[in-house]
Amino acid sequence: MSRKPGQGRGGSTMVKPTRPAVDVERTISFEDNSLLSSVFGNFDQNLALMEHRLGVEISARGNHVSIRGGEGACDVTEAALVEIYNRIAAGESMSAGDIEGVIRMKDGQPSGFAKKHPTKGVGPKIGKGSSNSVRIVTRRRTISPRSKTQQDYIECLGRADLVFALGPAGTGKTYLAVVHAVSLLEQGKVDRIILSRPAVEAGESLGFLPGDMREKVDPYVRPLYDALYDVMPMDRVERDIEAGVIEIAPLAFMRGRTLSNAAIILDEAQNCTSMQMRMFLTRLGENSRMVITGDPSQTDLPSSVSKGLAEAANLLTNVESVEQITFTEADVVRHDLVARIVHAYGELDRKNQKHN
């Protein structure tokens, strides 16, 4: 198989970055030829993505893959291909997002932004499993980080009792928190999962919304359900909700409770007032873990109301067993367009701050 740079068998062409003037060429040989169709992707889309992202040329014949480009770019491409091969050989299913994440992690920079390729180092080992030991394992899926900040976040989730995850939408804050909670539940480290969100976006009291309490709350917590369904069978989620093993409730329902033996997540915490945040933080009971996620720049609170998330994150910076991860627009792992949209709004915010 041989293709023009950046072109798959389907004929689609992408504009590639300019490669360095001095190129090197290397060849990787894989043991199991039957796995390579999954490694390359439909119409070799994974190879085309690497060519586009890293400025290399890739060609394959049988179980041999040749890479041509700058030395650092070839290092990254080789490491990414081996990582993908090893994970597929270990039985993992690799989505397009997972492929993108591997490239980002090996390149050391987020997609869609300027990259500095690393110098040549020790080559990756084929057939030794994933080189990334930082991951979250559930019965249904194994989740690997898709950016360096996600890797740091997963490490924080594993060691801290309270984690603040701040940053823009699309960076995986809520999803990874929910997956981590499911993993703790399946390992028997906690007895239940408690998911909460403030319900200020509707601009009205829950009592005026139709339906029973779950029907009133569901619209606010739908993203939490989506994350649960991704790593647990839907019928299992429903059974656990009915049994109280998984509890989804608005923030106001937390007052007066002690949450023990639980994985607790407060999502969209930028909409918490100072009083609400203090109330929620003091619900933490024995053998519990708490994760608080939010984007301070997206608050729906009036300007006159004190912002609980920013205050708590600053106040608890140096408290033992409390850690904080800050994502940026460069960490967005959704569609590339989302990263560019967040970047554009970030530029607007920075411009407005200068004028103010």
User: What value does the mean pLDDT take over residues 16-34?
Assistant: 75
Of 19-33, 101-115, 222-236, 244-258, the poorest mean pLDDT is in 101-115
Q: What is d(CA 238, CA 223) in angstroms, rounded to the nearest whole number?
A: 15
Q: What DSSP character marks residue 259? A: B
Separation between Cα atoms, residue 48 and residue 99, nearest integer Å: 12
Residue 311 has pLDDT above 90, yes or no: yes
Per-range mean pLDDT, top range of 12-16, 109-113, 119-123: 12-16
Average pLDDT over residues 136-155: 90
Tell me the β-bridge partners of 67.
26, 58
The residue out of 114, 132, 150 marking a domain boundary is: 132
Tell me: the pLDDT tens digits for 53-89? 889 999 988 889 999 999 988 999 999 999 999 989 9
Give yes or no: residues 202 and 308 share one domain: yes
End-to-end CA distance of the chain: 57
Are 178 and 126 within one domain?
A: no
Same domain, 148 and 288: yes
Q: Rg for the chain (alpha carbons), in Å? A: 23
**In this structure, are 171 and 269 located in the same domain?**
yes
Same domain, 25 and 107: yes
Q: Tell which of 110, 132, 154 closes a domain.
A: 132
d(CA 104, CA 107) in angstroms, rounded, equals 5
**Residue 136: pLDDT above 60?**
yes
Whether residue 125 sits in one domain with residue 57:
yes
Q: 154 with 8, same domain?
A: no
Output the pTM of the full model.
0.74
89 and 187 assigned to the same domain: no
**Last residue of one domain, picked from the residues 132, 148, 174:** 132
For position 212, what pLDDT does the model report?
Answer: 61
Per-residue pLDDT tens over the stretch 182-199: 999 999 999 999 999 886
Shared domain check, 334 and 190: yes
Phi, psi of 338 (to 5 degrees): -60, -40
- pLDDT tens, 222-270? 778 888 998 999 999 999 999 999 998 888 888 888 899 999 999 999 9
The C-alpha atoms of residue 44 and residue 10 are separated, in whole angstroms, by 9
C-alpha distances (whole Å) from 67 to each of 35, 54, 58, 74 are 19, 11, 5, 6
CATH classification of the domain holding 63: 3.30.1370.10
**Helices first, then strands: H and E counts in the chain:** 11, 11
DSSP output for 52-116? HHH--EEEEETTEEEEEE-HHHHHHHHHHHHHHHHHHHTT----HHHHHHHHHHHHTS-TTS---
Q: Which two tokens stand for residue 75?
A: 């290092």
- What is the span of the domain harbouring residue 206? 136-355
Within 10 angstroms of residue 235's Cβ, the number of other Cβ atoms is 8
Query: 236 with 289, same domain?
Result: yes
CATH of the domain at 246: 3.40.50.300
Query: In the prediction, which pLDDT does 13 show?
Result: 46
The Cα 116–Cα 76 span in angstroms is 11
The span from the CA of 190 to the CA of 246, in Å, is 11
**Phi, psi at 52, each rounded to 5°:** -65, -45
23: tokens are 């190129």
Q: Are both 47 and 150 inside the same structural domain? A: no
